[in-house]
């Protein structure tokens, strides 16, 4: 019973996701809003359960396969809150595109959320893989949810094939670690590594495959091939979902595997992450410049941002981990708002996913142009927006770890990336709208959600300590 109490949020989400599936099956066609509101209620219930219990020390459930600690609680809170926010954006999109409405979006998203919650609570290689596969299988289905869309079907197939390959490589790495250490338990693996000097080469070999799996979920170079095609081909709510909460979960996966289980191999995985970080920041920013599709540009932007995220992990310190958590949370908020702007501008005729669709937005809707201005300036790292402090925090930690040259490279790539963000501002504010371009109109719900999303990024830029203190509290157990 004690084990069940510790995983009550996950157990509740499983039951509620099945309930939402039944609601959609029996009531969804006649009343689509019933599925939406039942999914929202499910997230609210689970969010309240997660936030209501913050343990003073790390607790373990089910023979040590799951853990409940401050880091897990904070990450699960972020994940469920982001999923809840994404549902409101999805509702707006489906209301504009009745022919695209798919009630299964909500239960699939909830099952993906369950996978993310298991992933960030994992304390065993087996549980990591279980959470990852539950998340991945749900995302494959979401990407291809538009059965009549050729781009969506193609994106789903690419994602599935590459994801299956990455999962196989990750499992292979886990099997090597199990063969050498004789345990699947991450805390036990952490202790045993120090006594396995003779098997260091084999451990490093297994570590390489684990880093491949982490790199694929984060979408960093050279495991980024799926990102642009999936972002462009999938339905906008699905793209928005993939680009937000799963990134937080992927960070949690990296923390569990690299820090909770393989901290003894930190020198090895630091060098691997440096390569991935430099390649991602460079290639992501350079290729984003050439894009004319807004969703595809945001995909390459994501690759670059995940390169920045790795900087905090490279520092291998509690402050660095907190900085990375701060970064990934703020990035998820910025990405949520950017894709929300695409949903806002879209119509029943099609998605507004070209940069040209933003032409003259400041004259058609000054307020929403200002919200998107906040989001793109924040992504570019312009003060005083939240993205500036996110980049500042990871750069500060990587300098403290004596990787000054890496911080210098990151600043250069950030300046290169500023070009395509400023281009968005130029198109919105300095290009004249097309003759007869319609004024932007939104529902009250959409206007409120998108405005709150953008202003939250601004507020977190003005008072970053609110979020940073939460991240530091979650990282305290990793202090030396």
CB atoms under 10 Å from CB of 22, counted, come to 12
Backbone angles phi, psi at 102, to 5 degrees: -135, 110
What is the average pLDDT across 212-225?
A: 89
Q: Give the tens place of pLDDT for each residue, 345-367.
A: 887 566 777 888 888 888 888 88
| Spatial distance between the Cα atoms of 133 and 239, rounded to a whole number of angstroms | 19
Query: What was the pLDDT predicted at 348?
Result: 56
What does the longest C-alpha to C-alpha distance in the chain come to? 73
Q: What percent of the chain is modeled with pLDDT above 90? A: 48
Q: Average of pLDDT values for 200-218?
A: 90
Mean pLDDT of 125-145: 91
Q: Dihedral (C-alpha) 237, 240, 245, 250: value to the nearest 10 degrees?
A: 120
Rg (CA), the chain: 21
What is the C-alpha separation between 149 and 251, in angstroms, rounded?
Answer: 31
Give backbone dihedrals phi and psi of 286, rounded to 5 degrees, phi first: -70, -45
Please give the pLDDT value at position 1: 59
Please report, for the chain, how many H helices and E strands are present, in that order: 21, 2
The residues, any chain, with a CB within 8 Å of residue 334's CB and separated by 6 or more, are 375, 378, 379, 386, 387, 457
Residue 263 has pLDDT above 70, yes or no: yes
- Which residues are registered as beta bridge partners of 122? 66
pLDDT band, very low/low/confident/very high, at 94 (cuts 50, 70, 90): confident
Rounded to whole angstroms, the Cα distance separating 149 from 147 reads 6
With a cut of 60, say whether residue 174 has pLDDT above it: yes
- Residue 140 CA to residue 403 CA, distance in Å, equals 38
Over residues 307-354, the pLDDT tens digits come to 999 998 998 888 889 999 999 999 999 999 999 988 888 875 667 778
């Amino acid at each position: 019973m004690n084990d069940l109490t510790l995983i009550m949020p996950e157990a509740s989400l499983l039951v509620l996701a099945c309930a939402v599936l039944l609601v959609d099956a029996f009531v969804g066609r006649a009343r689509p809003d019933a599925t939406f509101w039942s999914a929202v209620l499910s997230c609210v219930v689970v969010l309240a359960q997660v936030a209501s219990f913050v343990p003073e020390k790390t607790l373990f459930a089910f023979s040590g396969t799951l853990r409940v600690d401050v880091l897990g609680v904070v990450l699960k809170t972020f994940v469920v809150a982001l999923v809840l926010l994404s549902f409101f954006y999805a509702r707006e999109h489906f209301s504009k595109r009745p022919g695209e409405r798919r009630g299964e979006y909500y239960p699939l998203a909830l099952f993906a959320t369950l996978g993310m919650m298991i992933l960030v609570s994992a304390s065993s290689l087996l549980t990591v893989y279980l959470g990852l596969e539950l998340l991945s299988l749900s995302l494959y289905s979401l990407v291809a949810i538009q059965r009549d869309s050729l781009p969506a079907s193609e994106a789903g197939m690419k994602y599935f094939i590459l994801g299956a390959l990455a999962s196989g490589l990750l499992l292979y790495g886990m099997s090597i670690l199990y063969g050498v250490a004789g345990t699947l338990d991450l805390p036990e693996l952490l202790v045993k590594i120090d006594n396995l000097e003779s098997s260091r080469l084999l451990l490093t070999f297994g570590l390489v495959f684990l880093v491949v799996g982490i790199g694929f979920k984060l979408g960093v170079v050279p495991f980024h091939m799926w990102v642009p095609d999936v972002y462009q081909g999938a339905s906008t709510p699905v793209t928005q979902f993939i680009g937000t909460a799963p990134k937080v979960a992927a960070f949690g996966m990296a923390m569990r595997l690299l820090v909770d289980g393989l901290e003894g191999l930190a020198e090895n995985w630091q060098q691997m992450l440096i390569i991935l970080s430099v390649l991602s920041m460079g290639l992501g920013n350079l290729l984003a410049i050439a894009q004319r599709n807004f969703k595809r540009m945001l995909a390459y932007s994501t690759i670059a941002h995940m390169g920045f995220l790795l900087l905090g992990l490279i520092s291998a310190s509690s402050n660095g981990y907190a900085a990375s958590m701060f970064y990934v949370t703020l990035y998820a908020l910025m990405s949520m708002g950017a894709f929300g702007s695409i949903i806002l501008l879209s119509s029943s005729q099609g998605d507004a996913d070209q940069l040209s669709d933003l032409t003259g937005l400041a004259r058609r809707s000054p307020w929403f142009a200002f919200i998107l201005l906040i989001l793109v300036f924040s992504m570019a790292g312009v003060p005083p927006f939240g993205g500036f402090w996110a980049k500042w925090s990871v750069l500060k930690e990587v300098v403290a770890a004596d990787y000054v040259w890496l911080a210098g490279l990151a600043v250069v790539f950030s300046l290169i990336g500023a070009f395509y963000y400023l281009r968005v501002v130029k198109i919105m504010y300095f290009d004249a709208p097309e003759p007869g371009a319609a004024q932007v109109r939104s529902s009250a719900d959409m206007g409120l959600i998108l405005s709150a999303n953008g202003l939250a990024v601004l507020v977190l830029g003005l008072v970053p300590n609110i979020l940073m203190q939460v991240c530091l509290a979650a990282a305290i157990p990793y202090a030396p």
